[in-house]
């Protein structure tokens, strides 16, 4: 299958075998490997083989394939490592924490008291503001 590539992209290099990785699995559209800077033991990445930076530009079937791969890795992490919890995280843009502009889903095992800062305290929102934004979003779907 042909897919877009970017010669400067670290994940494209891993997909092409030009950079080493601890590869967990591979299928036609995706690859999964261990993250080189794990936030917790078992932190892995499910990655599209093609170079699509973000969720708005990747074809829906490829995104679905990345999600399937992330699920397989998450299940393996749950049964093998028995973490207290697992986050699946997918960032779009530097403001969302994306450092590699090649779509990927993090599989992050969690343990109590780890300092991974993904959790937030729920604070009551303004109902009118929620409704106004809801109307804008709904009109775009």
Of these partners, Zn ion, ligand 5GP, none, which one is at the site of residue 52 (CB under 5 to 8 Å by kind)? none
Q: How far is the CB of 68 from ligand 5GP (least distance, A)?
A: 19
Q: Enumerate residues 47-66 that contact Zn ion by CB under 5 A.
A: 51
Interface with ligand 5GP (CB under 6 A), residue from 12, 15, 21, 110: 21
Which pairs count as long-range contacts for 111-120, CB under 8 Å and 24+ apart, including other chains? Answer: 111/40, 111/83, 111/84, 111/85, 112/84, 114/39, 114/40, 116/39, 116/40, 116/87, 118/87, 118/89
How far apart (Å, rounded) are the C-alpha atoms in residues 128 and 113?
Answer: 36
| Alpha-helix residue ranges (DSSP H) falling in 3-139 | 10-15, 60-81, 127-139
Q: Is 136 strand, coil or helix?
A: helix
Q: Enumerate residues 95-124 that contact Zn ion by CB under 5 A.
A: 102
Interface with ligand 5GP (CB under 6 A), residue from 6, 100, 114, 116: 100
Interface with ligand 5GP (CB under 6 A), residue from 91, 105, 107, 108: 91
Chain contacts with Zn ion (rule: CB under 5 A): 6, 9, 11-12, 51, 102
Residues noted as catalytic: 104
């Amino acid at each position: 299958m042909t897919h877009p590539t970017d010669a400067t992209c670290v994940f494209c290099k891993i997909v092409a075998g030009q950079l080493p990785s601890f590869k967990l699995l591979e299928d036609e559209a995706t690859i999964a490997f261990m993250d080189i800077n794990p936030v917790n033991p078992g932190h892995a990445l499910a990655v599209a083989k093609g170079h699509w930076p973000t969720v708005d530009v990747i074809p829906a079937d490829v995104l679905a394939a990345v999600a399937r791969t992330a699920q397989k890795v998450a299940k393996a992490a749950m049964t093998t490592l028995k973490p207290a919890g697992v986050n699946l995280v997918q960032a779009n843009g530097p403001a969302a924490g994306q450092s590699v502009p090649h779509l990927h889903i993090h599989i992050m095992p969690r343990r109590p008291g780890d300092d991974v800062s993904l959790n937030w305290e729920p604070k009551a929102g303004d109902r009118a503001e929620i409704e106004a934004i809801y109307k804008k979003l709904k009109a775009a779907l």
